[in-house]
Structure 1
Amino acid sequence: MTTLLTTPVPAATGDLTLRRGAARVLLTNWTGASTIPSRGLYPHQWSWDSAFIAIGLRHLSVRRAQRELESLLGAQWADGRVPHIVFNPAVPLDAYFPSPDFWRSSRAGAAAGSPAGTETSGIVQPPVHALAAWLVHLADPDTSRRRGFLKRVYGALTAWHDYLTGPRDLGGGRLASVVHPWEAGMDNSPCWDKPLERVEPMTPGSYRRADLDHGQPAERPTDLDYGRYVRLAADYRDAGYTDARGSHAFAIEDPCVNALLIVSEHALARIAAEAGADPARHEARAERLKAALVERLWSPTAGMFLCHDVVGGGLIAERSVAGLVPLVVPGLPPHIVRALIATATGDGFRLGEVPMAPSYDFSGAAFDASRYWRGPAWFNTNWLLERGLRQYGYGSAADALRGAMLTAAGASGFSEYVDPVTAQARGTRNFGWTAALALDLLATAPVANGETDPGRTEGADT
């Protein structure tokens, strides 16, 4: 039986109520080996969801948080990729689309090393996993060492990063590329509109959207966008999930994906030291990635990082929250940090004026306060911004954002995302990472052994 409540309970009554509510969401969504993002809309295990969920679960049960990551990594492909969905065979095929019979991972992905006994998708999601594993370790280092947790996940995490920095360096510039909007995590971002114009959509009658059974059409991607998502996934599947340069209609170097890879690479260096391996290779790779991030994706004109279209060439002018997330990267040049703060607090994102940063520039032509990743505020990206603000010494701004996130999480019923101005609930409710990250923000226990979490360095030079 799992032992819960491994950290002190917050003293405030409101915090205690919020903590109990968040814990209830995670316990309800637990399947026995992992946590689904939500009942109904997302009935399987999602990759970066599990990483964020493990970060929150560590405050309830370190063993369960470890299991969350271990179950995901158990579905890793031999080429190193960690699939974005691990399917639960007990869930009916028509409960979610694209379902296992669409991806056909065990057959179509065999040459790429897909697991024979587990059905997964063939695409990936942002690499938060090494950071999550390190934070789970810090929650109870003695139990972690006794169970050999970091030694067991180190090889898998290294292979995952090797895949992203090897076969997925499709632009040849030392950054990882995503080959589908779903891989960036920000599925429906306006950043993808122009690149997706190259993609011929599947006809709507050739598939059935299960997401509309649980979500409002006005909050979900349009049929045109969805048809293009399905086409890209089908073409990748039919090509055996291969990653040859020049073979993709859609290939993007995304600043959020690569910022998380850098932070996780720093975490992997610490994991390597604990596991008896050499941390130097990971620190060196983190520095190379950071240099490439600045060189290829920084836009002084935009005052933030932008996505790079590997296929079409050039930076994509759309300004999304993905371009602010690199605040989590340690050691950015001071002028870039200052510019990111100015952009985050300026008219485009209004951080400090509105409760949480929107997913897309308020002044952008495609802004929509309700539609998936085209304007609503998300808890995971704001959690990352809170870490970045705190890392670079903007403690007051971080405290204000933390308070706004906690208020919004409780008031919205732990919704998937919220209106960025009113904080009104949008998407599904009782969402896994919203509850998990609320727990993390509520946690009062100091970091073990006085260490600072990767990406949470206090008082860094700006």
Structure 2
Amino acid sequence: MTSLLRSGDVTDTDHDHRALRAAATRVLLGNWNGRGTVPSRSLYPHQWSWDSAFVAIGLRHLSPRRAQQELEWLLSAQWADGRVPHIVFNPAVPAGAYFPSPDFWQSSSAGRHRGAPAHAETSGIVQPPVHAIAAWLVHRADPRESARRGFLPRVAARLDAWHRYLADHRDLGGRGLAAILHPWEPGLDNSPCWDIPLGRVTPAAEDSYRRVDLDHSAAGDRPTDLDYARYVRLARDYRDSGYDDAAPHAFQVEDPGFNALLVAAEQALAEILRAVGADPAPALRRAERLATVLTERLWDDERRIFAPRDLHDDRLLPVAGVNGLLPLAVPGLPRPFADALESTATGERFQLGQVHMVPSYDLTSEQFDPNRYWRGPSWFNTAWLVHRGLHASGSTDAADELRAGILRDAWTSGFAEYVNPRTGAARGIRDFSWTAAVVLDLLSDPREER
């Protein structure tokens, strides 16, 4: 792809933005399967949970109706216990096209007692709860069309059930935070943040499954065979428990990114509930409680960042990942925390403004890898969240500079899944949906209330 947005400064001309918008639109339309949007046509041929939330945020600038449909289709596969599964499988896709496949998860049988839907096969784990944020933004993009289709009334109860599931079933530490049971759940699948708790997991036998991801991506970009075997073991054990959150789990962690996004989502849900004439107070109480416990329980004063807490020994993990910066996106985050996070983001660990976007892991760590999945590369969706947080905290210059970098890197990488933070080189899959989606959002009217 010939660069219109040069590697130095983004040229903010209407021509450049028209070309970038047209290219991003092409990506999203090309990845639409008639009911929802796949992250990519190759490696990810189904619908992913938080991917679709970002897709809807971008689609609202093209077609608010399609953005609504994106979320509605995802939520139609919600389980009766309230969980929103991280994958909704397309039955038209051959079973061998992706692993773990529907045959592995066995949602309609193993998840039957948890209320897994009979009409759709899904995974059994979850992803970050960004859906209420997306739904509220989608509604506000065209309130008249939203009202005509009854969008908010249709999704409000489902979103409330989703948040209640996290509050009622995932508070495994007993302090009010949602726990994750698998490294795939916080979205930062292969991050060094999970190395310590993951090291306790007995790996699955490598001859018991076949990795399909390596058919589409370079092995150096993907998780190692040992880590992948541990992911499979965790998912298999959870499945064999009947997806029982109260069963013993080898991996139980309170993640700051997951919980920060839940705070923001609870506040968005309160707006949705208010708009449909329901009581927003329970969602607001949950948001206030979460925000308080987040700062009390997950703040690492030594590293000046939020850190995951390993429930195995109830200790903060000695790590610094982009998930620790995501509380910037919490509305009303106390000023001392916001200032400390911005200082950390611009410091040696993440070098915001000096590298491409926001590295997914501490640049100074021995575990940092600029190319391997979530172990260092910069991702577009987390950069968008940090951008949103910087704007909310009043750091508009840093936010604007990050915005320019996101747009530049999306164009020059061919809408890559992620990039090397030092060089900007494209890594992973190209024509990736959430990359295109956040570009469309950042190209929208900057005066729009966000």
Q: TM-score, normalising length from structure 2?
A: 0.96
8 A contact 1:195–1:312 mirrored in 2: no
Residue in structure 2 matching 1:31, options 30, 33, 54: 33
Equivalent AA in structure 2 for residue 120 of structure 1: T
2:309 aligned residue: 308
Once residues 87 and 60 of structure 1 are traced to their aligned partners in structure 2, the CA distance between those partners, rounded to angstroms, is 25
Q: For 2:224 and 2:410, locate their aligned partners in 1 and report how far apart those are by CA, in whole Å.
A: 27
Partners of 2:93 and 2:13 in 1: how far apart?
Answer: 40
Query: Secondary structure, in 3 states, of the residue corresponding to 2:184?
Result: helix
Distance 2:120 2:406 in 1: 36
Q: Which residue of 2 aligns with 1:281?
A: 282
Give the secondary-structure state (helix, strand or coil) at the position aligned to 1:41. Answer: coil
Q: Please tell me whether residue 213 in structure 1 is matched to residue 215 in structure 2.
A: yes
Q: Can you list the C-alpha shifts for 1:248-267, whole angstroms capped at 9, x where unaligned?
A: 11011000000110001000
Alpha-carbon distance in structure 2 between the residues aligned to 1:339 and 1:299: 11
Q: Which amino acid aligns with 1:394?
A: S
8 A Cα contact 2:356 2:422, kept in partner: yes
How far the C-alpha of 1:355 sits from its partner, in A, is 2.4
What is the alpha-carbon distance in structure 2 between the residues aligned to residue 395 and residue 107 of structure 1?
A: 50
After superposition, residues 65-84 of structure 1 pair within 5 angstroms as 65-84=67-86
- 1:48 is matched with 50
Kindly indicate whether the alpha-carbon contact (under 8 Å) linking 1:262 and 1:286 is maintained by their aligned counterparts in 2. Answer: yes
Please give the alpha-carbon distance, in whole angstroms, between the structure 2 residues aligned to 1:233 and 1:181.
10
Output aligned runs, 1:60-459, within 5 Å.
60-244=62-246, 247-444=248-445, 446-447=447-448, 452-453=449-450
2:356 touches 2:420 (CA, 8 Å); kept in 1? no
Tell me, in whole angstroms, the C-alpha distance in 2 between the residues paired with 1:30 and 1:301. 45
Whether the 8 Å CA contact 1:137–1:150 is kept in 2: the answer is yes
Distance in 2 (CA, whole Å) between partners of 1:224 and 1:91 is 28
CA RMSD for the aligned pairs?
1.0
- The residue that corresponds to 2:8 in the other structure is none
How many residue pairs align between the two structures?
439
Shift of 1:330: 1.5
User: What amino acid is aligned across from residue 198 of structure 2 in structure 1?
Assistant: L
Determine helix, strand or coil for the equivalent of 1:353.
coil
Contact 1:320 1:359 in 2 (8 A): yes
Amino acid at match of 1:22: A
Structure 1 residues 191-225: Cα deviation after superposition (integer angstroms, max 9, x where no partner):
11110111100111110000000000000000000
When structure 1 is superposed on structure 2, of 52-61 and 331-340 the one drifting more is 331-340
Between the aligned partners of 1:359 and 1:115, the Cα distance in structure 2 is: 34
Once the two structures are TM-superposed, the CA of residue 117 in structure 1 deviates from its matched residue by 1.5
Unaligned runs of 5+ in 1: 1-9, 454-462
For the residues of structure 2 that align with 1:75 and 1:445, how far apart are their CA atoms? 34
1:189·1:373 contact (CA, 8 Å) conserved in 2? yes
For residues 1-40 of structure 1, what are the structure 2 equivalents within 5 Å? 12-40=14-42
Deviations 1:268-325 (A, max 9, x none): 0100011110112211111000001011101111101000001232000111000001
Residue 456 of structure 1: aligned partner: none
Q: Distance in 1 between matches of 2:25 and 2:446?
A: 17
- CA deviations over 1:381-406 (Å, ceiling 9, x no partner): 00000001000111011000000000
Matched residue SS, 1:184: coil
Counterparts in 2 of 1:29 and 1:414: CA distance versus 1, 3 Å? same
Distance 1:332 1:152 in 2: 31
Residue identity (%): 61
Q: Which runs of 4+ in 1 moved over 4 A?
A: none
Q: Match of 1:181, SS? A: coil
- Contiguous gaps of at least 5 residues in structure 2: 1-11
- Conserved 8 A contact 2:177-2:290: yes
